[in-house]
Chain A
Amino acid sequence: MRYLPLNDADRRSMLDTIGVSQIDELFSDVPADALNTAFSLPDHQGEMQVDRMLGAMAAKNRAAGAGPSFVGCGAYKHHIPATVDHIIQRSEFLTAYTPYQPEIAQGTLQYLFEFQTQVAALSGMEVANASMYDGSTGCAEAALMARRITKRKKAVLSGGLHPHYAAVTRTNLELHNDDVVLAPADVDASEDIIAMIDDETSCVIVQTPDVFGNIRDLTPIAEAAHEKGALLVAVVTEVMSLGALKSPGEMGADIFVGEGQSIGNALGFGGPYVGLFATRQKYVRQMPGRLCGETTDAEGKRGFVLTLSTREQHIRRDKATSNICTNSGLCTLAFTIHMTLLGEAGLRKIAALNHEAACKTADALKAIDGVDLVNKSFFNEITVRLPKNANDIVDKLAENGILAGVPGERLWPGEKSLENLLILAATECVSDADIEALASGLREVV
């Protein structure tokens, strides 16, 4: 077996050193009838055979880059510079552990410090952690953090919040018998979320751009929440938008939660992604997850360490702010590299290109008879209302090699009023020809 360095002579001599005659003597604590049971699985195989079998599975899927793709809703197709993937495959990054021994993990710690600085700057918040699993779990953690800070047990969720984020948050809060008030799906950003905030509310969770693509002004919501002693959790699933839009921090958010996949990370069928999590300095000790901080070494040189770990499970156990341990290490590196390549200038430009592609897509689609654009504002994602069930249309277009977007039924199963909705994302990867192909494909089927 190519991955195992010991040979039979090694094994024999090591057993002799240990003083046992055969390997199973080392497994003698296992109940005898449970040891060496049968498995209905194949034996080992060479690299070529495995490559072929798994390659065949991969070949059955249609990659987003294989043709026009407008699928978004929490995961976005962007161009990732080749440098990113090269660097994250360096052994010293790929095969390192959590930086528990800082003297020999300064590489990891420094990029985490840079990552935290980038996320804080992007979100307009004061302090960011070293990542969560993804945006949706970060959203649930933000709600849990808000209940720790406010000592209240009611969360208000906007109808513009990605329904999967809402579901994850609800699943977590229900464990504590909290009250989770979920506003109905709010297609055109017309809900009166402020009216739903009361003196019992721990947090109000609002996404912008929302799941339908509408851009929301958080400022009045933040003011209303603060008046009632509640926190505003701002969710951003398309982090590229922060290159074009006012940041949550500028609009008064108390906790920022983002999905960082768009920067540096592949679509990957849903994971691994990288949850961005930032807040105000005054709440730092209530944050979940790892934090990297600056310090000096015994010679006075600057260095970095994991810090404030008395919030964390490996020290505080049942008093920890969260049970999170492993986070999204290598995905934060990918984010940090891509962000470093883009810089502020590149981020603003790529955000403008995304917005431009979405504007062109919106114009092309609303010119089709029977297709209505829902949004008054948007960044790179729009919602259109079709004359019939969008699910069927998406399937039909997929047969023609066009991935048209996310049909309402996919995210709100059983919601008749939303089944004609189609949500489309247009990024810098979308060409004019792609938009034309989508428009003509759609024209044929509606």
Chain B
Amino acid sequence: MTMNTQGRPTRADSAETSQAATFTGNKALQIEEALSFEIGDIGGCGVDLPEPGMKENRLGGLARDTDIGLPGLSEPETMRHFVRLSQKNYAIDMGPFPLGSCTMKHNPRLNEKIARLPGFADLHPLAPRATVQGALELIDTLAFWLKELTGMPAVAMSPKAGAHGELCGMMAIKAAIEARGEQDKRTRVLAPESAHGTNPATAVQCGFTVDEIPADKTGRVDLAALKEKLGDDVAGIMVTNPNTCGLFERDIRAIADAVHEAGGYFYCDGANFNAIAGKVKPGDLGVDAMHINLHKTFSTPHGGGGPGSGPTVLSEALAPFAPIPFVVHEDGEYHLVETRRAAKSEGESVESFGRLTAFHGQMGMFTRALSYMMSHGKDGIAQAAEDAVLNANYVQTRLRSEMSSAFDGHCMHETLFDDRFLKGTGVETIDFAKAMIDEGYHPMTMYFPLVVHGAMLIEPTESESKRELDLFCDALLSLAKRAKAGEAAAFKAAPIHAPRRRLDETAAARKPVLRWTPAEPAQAAE
């Protein structure tokens, strides 16, 4: 089997199917659906609008005089089109979604209701200040919760996602280094090899170079190796804690101290904050900046890939460089600071590094996250972290009877397995994952982190009941036994019950088809 750089297979070895074909191609509730472009025509419309009365226009001679090529569908056709599409998706509301590092927890529907209140949803970001006091209050309240939960003095609310929050934190670090006049000297950023890909990508986007720190035998940052790499050319370090192996960095304070002693800053990737929220304040561990994925830890829906939100908490040292805009509460009123005004830091005049986005951040995620936090309270947030860690350790313990744990000992909110248990079976991590699909589960994160071979990273979250976890573990154990019993062919063919069999990713990349185009007109009939 050929593998691409992701370690993912490119083509199933076997197309054998156990199911009889139907005339329509449909399979009972699974209904094949064409593209909207193949269903509608450009005269179609599912919206009733009044007739425009104007004859002239004032478009400066630049009125459109060509067709766009967009079909329209009536409302019932539209409804059916998208409902049929929806039924080809797996979702957290259907079953466990154990993607490690992704934190697919339950999305409470109260949060959806709150986000849709007209006072939040139908509010213009540039409406006069006096008419948006409640919105600014909400942002300020959420900021308070985030600062209190992290033990950090400041938070930048505008980053639009986790990677954007990383950018925010690293920009603040860059600005602080510039304020010290060391921008030409400190150009290197250290990141562990187990880091999310966004970490090195972010550092480079900030104009830094990246140096990898190896992991030690226990799956954590190798402190001695880190110390060797430190120097006066280091701007900072980016460490995920708990890390992507699902382990808490025991030496976290020593790491922070070493980086600080070398004159650098400590960026903590907060993707896994959900494991310790309500239990530990990252501010107590020497962190200078950390983004918080509201769409992970505080349960705003992932929505098929976004939108996210990545507020970034900052230490005293970095706070003066925070991006605009930000909310301040003064004299009983909420104000929005939208200009780069200078602040004082240790006698030096410093100012915001600038602006990350047009407006004030992901308000729709703020409302949902605050609703989640208020519902949980400090006790519920801590209980959620404990249950997430408990569930992960329970799964780890049960699966260890047939599967190979990457590291010994307990884990935090996610547990990492490697592919040693599949050695000699002919089954690879990808095949194991695809077989899970047929059992009704979304696979775990696979081939990440890169520190172990054939990684399988499982994060059950606190949203799973013990019954659901037992069923899940039973299914995985049975798969592991089947793999060892020599059923490789069945694994290679999986999935066979999903809306699609394995897809040819190599062909997709080799000759990319990224949009629909009309079929070549057929030869005119005689």
Number of A-B contacts (CB under 8 A): 724
Binding-face segment, A19-27, A190-198, A223-231 = A19-27
Whether B303 sits at the interface, judged by CB under 8 Å, is yes
Whether B490 sits at the interface, judged by CB under 8 Å, is no
Over the window 371-385 of chain B, the binary record of Cβ atoms lying under 8 Å from chain A Cβ atoms (1 yes, 0 no) is: 100111111101110
Query: Residue A247 contacts which of B57, B64, B198 (CB distance < 8 angstroms)?
Result: B64
Whether A250 sits at the interface, judged by CB under 8 Å, is yes
What is the minimal beta-carbon distance from A19 to any residue of chain B, in angstroms? 7
Whether A221 sits at the interface, judged by CB under 8 Å, is no
Which residues of A405-432 are within 8 A (CB) of B?
Answer: 406, 410-411, 413-414, 428
Over the window 52-92 of chain B, the binary record of Cβ atoms lying under 8 Å from chain A Cβ atoms (1 yes, 0 no) is: 11100111111111111111110100110111011111111
Which residues of B174-208 are within 8 A (CB) of A?
Answer: 174, 196-198, 200-207
Given A58-B120, A66-B118, A346-B46, does the pair A87, B83 have CB atoms closer than 8 Å? yes
- Whether A168 pairs with B355 at a CB distance below 8 angstroms is yes
Whether B464 sits at the interface, judged by CB under 8 Å, is yes
Whether B228 sits at the interface, judged by CB under 8 Å, is no
How big is chain B's contact interface, by range? 35 or more
- Whether A128 pairs with B515 at a CB distance below 8 angstroms is yes
- Whether A337 pairs with B78 at a CB distance below 8 angstroms is yes
Which residues of B29-43 are within 8 A (CB) of A?
Answer: 33, 35-37, 40, 42-43
Whether B223 sits at the interface, judged by CB under 8 Å, is no
Over the window 348-378 of chain B, the binary record of Cβ atoms lying under 8 Å from chain A Cβ atoms (1 yes, 0 no) is: 0000011111111111110100110011111
With a cutoff of 8 Å between Cβ atoms, the chain B residues found around residue A304 in the complex are 503
Query: Residue A83 contacts which of B75, B301, B375, B448 (CB distance < 8 angstroms)?
Result: B75
- Whether A91 pairs with B73 at a CB distance below 8 angstroms is no
Query: Residue A133 contacts which of B161, B394, B465 (CB distance < 8 angstroms)?
Result: B161
With a cutoff of 8 Å between Cβ atoms, the chain A residues found around residue B304 in the complex are 93, 96-99, 105, 107-108, 329-330, 333
- Whether A110 pairs with B33 at a CB distance below 8 angstroms is yes
What is the minimal beta-carbon distance from B507 to any residue of chain A, in angstroms? 5
18 contacts between A and B (CB under 8 A): A26-B393, A36-B382, A41-B377, A57-B137, A61-B119, A133-B306, A137-B164, A164-B358, A171-B323, A297-B500, A298-B501, A318-B201, A326-B162, A326-B308, A340-B71, A342-B47, A352-B54, A353-B52
With a cutoff of 8 Å between Cβ atoms, the chain B residues found around residue A375 in the complex are 58
Over the window 334-351 of chain A, the binary record of Cβ atoms lying under 8 Å from chain B Cβ atoms (1 yes, 0 no) is: 000101111111111110
- Nearest CB to that of B170 among chain A residues? A175
- Whether B514 pairs with A127 at a CB distance below 8 angstroms is yes
What is the minimal beta-carbon distance from B175 to any residue of chain A, in angstroms? 10
* Cα separation A40 to B148 with both chains bound (whole Å): 7
* Cα separation A42 to B376 with both chains bound (whole Å): 9
What is the minimal beta-carbon distance from A357 to any residue of chain B, in angstroms? 10
Whether B134 sits at the interface, judged by CB under 8 Å, is yes
Whether A294 sits at the interface, judged by CB under 8 Å, is yes
With a cutoff of 8 Å between Cβ atoms, the chain B residues found around residue A247 in the complex are 64, 66, 68
Whether A291 sits at the interface, judged by CB under 8 Å, is yes
- Whether B386 pairs with A272 at a CB distance below 8 angstroms is no
- Whether B354 pairs with A171 at a CB distance below 8 angstroms is yes
Given A349-B49, A356-B52, does the pair A327, B161 have CB atoms closer than 8 Å? yes
- Whether B87 pairs with A92 at a CB distance below 8 angstroms is yes
What is the minimal beta-carbon distance from A104 to any residue of chain B, in angstroms? 4
- Whether B66 pairs with A62 at a CB distance below 8 angstroms is no
Query: Residue A353 contacts which of B49, B60, B196, B394 (CB distance < 8 angstroms)?
Result: B49
- Whether B389 pairs with A27 at a CB distance below 8 angstroms is yes
* Cα separation A130 to B302 with both chains bound (whole Å): 15
Given A69-B124, A244-B59, does the pair A37, B285 have CB atoms closer than 8 Å? no
- Whether B356 pairs with A345 at a CB distance below 8 angstroms is no
- Whether A4 pairs with B252 at a CB distance below 8 angstroms is no
- Whether B205 pairs with A95 at a CB distance below 8 angstroms is no
- Whether A323 pairs with B202 at a CB distance below 8 angstroms is yes
- Nearest CB to that of B141 among chain A residues? A57
Over the window 144-184 of chain A, the binary record of Cβ atoms lying under 8 Å from chain B Cβ atoms (1 yes, 0 no) is: 10000000000000000010110110111011110000000
Whether A29 sits at the interface, judged by CB under 8 Å, is yes
* Cα separation A204 to B55 with both chains bound (whole Å): 35
